[in-house]
Amino acid sequence: MKLDEFKIKAILLGFIVNLTGTYLSTGLLVLGYFSVKGISTDNFNEVYSDHLILGILLITGLAWSMLGGYICARTAKKSEYFNAAFIGVIGLAMSSYSFATGDPSPIWYKLVALIAEIPITLLGVKLARLKREEPVK
């Protein structure tokens, strides 16, 4: 691996899209959840007992991870998997830290998030490469 194949701009762009999208959509979904359920935001821990909202949050977060990998690959244009893997590793590290410091989410949520982060990010790369290889019409 050559140093010129390390595309910091692509990694940062993909990571920022992943992180920003995940946090914004999580905030909106949780606020919507509180509004629909008619509960106060002071009762935030109620989110952790509702498997439906947790599943929606998980799928949404992983979708942003995939988009981050896609954007990284489209921006990097070479060594896409190598560069996008950094996004997955950073996401994995952030999730691990969050879970280790007292995140009250259930174990199934934590396991799926940890196991799926890197493969989903790399799936975004696969989609970007398929898009690039599309024949011109």
Alpha carbons 30 and 113: distance in angstroms, whole number: 18
Does residue 14 sit within a domain? yes
* Residue 93: partners with Cβ closer than 8 Å, 6 or more residues away: none
Does residue 29 sit within a domain? yes
Q: Name the band, by pLDDT with cuts 50, 70 and 90, for residue 19.
A: very high
Q: How many domains does the chain have?
A: 1
Does residue 136 sit within a domain? no
Average pLDDT value for residue range 26-35: 92
Does residue 135 sit within a domain? no
pTM of the model: 0.88
pLDDT value at 116 more than 90:
yes
Does residue 68 sit within a domain? yes
Does residue 59 sit within a domain? yes
Identify the domain containing residue 66 by its residue range.
3-130
Alpha carbons 87 and 85: distance in angstroms, whole number: 5
pLDDT value at 59 more than 80:
yes
Q: Which pLDDT value is given to residue 42?
A: 79
Does residue 104 sit within a domain? yes
Does residue 87 sit within a domain? yes
- 3 state DSSP class of 128: helix
